[in-house]
Amino acid sequence: MKKLILFTLSLSVLLISCSKKDDPKPPSELVGEWHHVASNGDRSRIIFQDNFAFAHILTSPGNNSAYTMLKGTYTADKQTFHIKLRSKIVQEQGKPQVESLYSEQLYANASYVIDGDELSISHSADPATDPGKVTLTFQRALSFGDDTR
């Protein structure tokens, strides 16, 4: 009987230690949609999803029907993130949408800080020629049910 109890306990410990680890999750404060308006009026939206999907949408002032969207995946911790782009979608006014494979890096050597509803991303503008950092500030999008503004 003692052997059976010992075997059962050993098997329980083995099963617990070999169980699947929880799937990793991105930092919850980063997940969501963020907006930035550049000094020239260009508008950027970046979206970090909880399944590690990423999108960056850029529109020019006065022309909301034309845009460029970069899509990919990201990894993140509490201070840095890395984005791996996979596709680029270009929609020009009055023309068909064009999607192509795209593998350039976005926000090289990026770090971030979140303060309330503000996301500051510091990254290398061009790591090959300029080691300095550029900081962009995004505002968290307001959400009304399924409608995000």
Q: Rounded to whole angstroms, what are the CA distances from 38 to 65, 95, 135, 138, 148? A: 18, 25, 12, 10, 20
Give strand ranges (E) for 31-129: 32-37, 43-48, 53-60, 63-76, 81-91, 98-101, 105-106, 108-115, 118-126
Q: In this structure, what token pair is assigned to residue 13?
A: 């410990």
> CA nearest 111: which of 87, 86, 135, 145?
135
Question: Residue 69 has what pLDDT?
Answer: 94
With tokens 């270009």, the residue in question is 90
Residues in the chain with pLDDT values less than 70:
1-23, 64, 126-131, 143-149
Amino acid (one-letter) located at 96: P
Q: In this structure, what token pair is assigned to residue 133?
A: 């950092």
Tell me the pLDDT tens digit for each residue of 103-144. 877 777 789 999 999 999 998 876 666 667 888 899 999 765
Question: Residue 64 has what pLDDT?
Answer: 67
Give the β-pairing of 105-106 and 81-91: antiparallel
